[in-house]
Amino acid sequence: MSRYKYVLFDLDGTVSESAPGIRKSLEHAITSLDKPLPNLDDYTLYIGPPLLDTFRNLCRFDEPDCQKGLVLYRDFYNETGKYLNKLYDGVKEVLKSIRQSGAKTAVCTSKYEKFAEEIVEILGVTEYFDAVCGSTFDGSRKDKKDLIPYAVESLGGNIETDRKRTVMLGDTYFDARGARLCKADFVGVKYGYGSIKAMQDEGASLFADTPKDILKLIG
């Protein structure tokens, strides 16, 4: 049996190798608005944070352009970007083992929930998740501190009483910070897109070099 009842997986950089599709969709949205294209070589700047925050902080858009950018991004991502996702080697076997241990699993992502559901299906791992939990279209649920309780509730629990039986797996400080704020456990993954130091600054101390290493750290 797993020592955790609820195992939450970030999507981008933890389950899915997703950078190409996200970058192309972001480039499309920015150039469609005739805005200058920032340097997007550093994936940590825009893979992990909510999309709305990326437009506000990285692109410096005003609020009307942020909303236009959201629509442009999502339309392009829906048509093209989501099909560029690739499952990390070993993730499927990890999901199988966790489910067999008796724990419940959920995707817990800042990505728009409908896209997250479609990506999980494209990756061929829908059957290994009890729930797919993402952000709302209007941005009212986008931060991990809000998504983690929502995911636990979707699995039949309550973060207030089940925080010690909940672990968040992710590759960015957004995941680590969300777990810290919710007082849940956290395991960082080194193979994703985020900064290890940034996760450590949020209190992370356990890290998986590969998907397979996750099992040793949460068993």
The rounded distance, in Å, linking the Cα atoms of 164 and 167 is 8
Q: What angle do CA 28, 31, 33 make, to 5 degrees?
A: 110
The letter for the amino acid at 127 is E
Active site residue 10: yes
The rounded distance, in Å, linking the Cα atoms of 87 and 54 is 24
The rounded distance, in Å, linking the Cα atoms of 60 and 38 is 10
CB 47 within 8 A of CB 19: yes
CB 180 within 8 A of CB 159: no
What Å distances lie between residue 157 and 80, 131, 148, CA to CA?
Answer: 35, 12, 11
Q: Which of 169, 168, 172, 179 is nearest to 198 (CA)?
A: 172
Instruction: Write down the catalytic residue from 10, 12, 65, 162.
Output: 10
Q: What angle do CA 8, 76, 38 make, to 5 degrees?
A: 85
Residue 194 bridge partners (DSSP): none
- Residue 160, C-beta contacts closer than 8 angstroms, at least 6 positions apart: none
Q: Are strands 104-112 and 86-87 parallel, antiparallel or unpaired?
A: unpaired
**What residues are labeled active site?**
10
